[in-house]
Amino acid sequence: MSYITVGKENSGNIDLYYEDHGTGTPVVLIHGWPLSGSSWERQVPALLEAGYRVITYDRRGFGSSSKPTSGYDYDTLTSDLHKLMTNLDLRDAALVGFSMGGGEVARYFGAYGSERVSKAVFMAAVPPFLLKTPENPAGVDGTVFEGISQAIAADRPAFLSKFFADFYNVDILRGKKVSDEVVRLGWNVAASASPVGTLACVQEWLTDFREDLKRINVPTLVVHGDADRILPLTATGRRMPEFVKGSRLVVVAGGPHGLNWTHAGEVNRELLTFLSKGR
C-alpha cells in the first residue's frame, strides 16, 4: 500500500492512500463524496488497457487515507492533490474529477495553473457554482444543503441509504444498470469515512469556482447525466462552457449521478476518445 504524507494533526501524520498503475501518459482520477478511489473500478481497467498510467487516491477523511478533523476546505484538498502530483513528479497529466472531485480540478488550475496538466475532465461535477444567489439564479437553494447537513448530523448511516438510492436512481435503474450489491458497496465505503469529514465537506460544495474555471487553458471534457438527482445538469455541467471556453459537454441520456458505474461503457468511450486526441 502506498501513502504520501501531506500534513500533521497533533502527534499523527496525515497520509493519503494512493494507487499508481501502468505506464504512459498519467491520468489522475479524483473521486466523489463520500466514496474513495475504489469508485473508479469500471474506468481503471479501460484506461490501463488503452496504455495510460492511472493514479487514484483517497481524499483525506475517506477510504484508506487518514481521517483528520480539519482540512476539508477546497484550498487544502487541492493542496493535497498538488503534493501528490509533485511527489510523483507527474507531467502532461489529465485530471479527471467526479462530483466533488471536479472542485479539486477547478481549484487546481486556479491555484497552480497548467504546468503539470494537459487535459481536464469534469464528470457529474460540482462546478461552476452550485449555490443559488441573486446573481446566480441557476443554482440550488441553500436550504437544500442545510437539510443535508442536518440529516448527516442526526443519523449519518440512514442519510447514506437515501443518498445512494438517488445517487444511482435505484427506483429506475435497479436490476438494469445497477445491482443491490453495488449500492451496498457504496454505502459500506461511505459509512467507513470520517463522520467529521463527511459533514464538513457539504458546505464546500457551495464554493464559487467560476474564476478558477476561467484559468483553464487545456482541452476540457464535461460529462453529465440528464437524470442526475444529486447535482442537476442545469445547475452544473450545462453551464460549464460559459466559463471554460472550447470545452465539450457530453450529456448522457438517462444518466444518474453515479453514471461512471451505470453508464460505464458510454462514459469510458467518451473519456478514451477525449484523452487520445493529440496523444
For residue 240, give the H/E element and its range.
Answer: helix 240-243
The residue type at 72: Y
Active site residues: 99, 228, 257
Which residues, in sequence order, are bridge partners of residue 130?
Answer: none
3 state DSSP class of 239: helix
| Residue 197 CB neighbours (<10 A) | 21
| Residue 105 near residue 94 (C-beta atoms within 8 A) | no
| Residue 65 near residue 83 (C-beta atoms within 8 A) | no
Residue 203 CA to residue 192 CA, distance in Å, equals 20
Long-range CB contacts (within 8 A, 24+) of 1-9:
1/64, 3/65, 4/83, 4/84, 4/87, 6/60, 6/79, 6/80, 6/83, 6/84, 7/68, 7/71, 9/66, 9/68, 9/69, 9/70
Residue 100 CA to residue 145 CA, distance in Å, equals 14
The residue type at 113: G
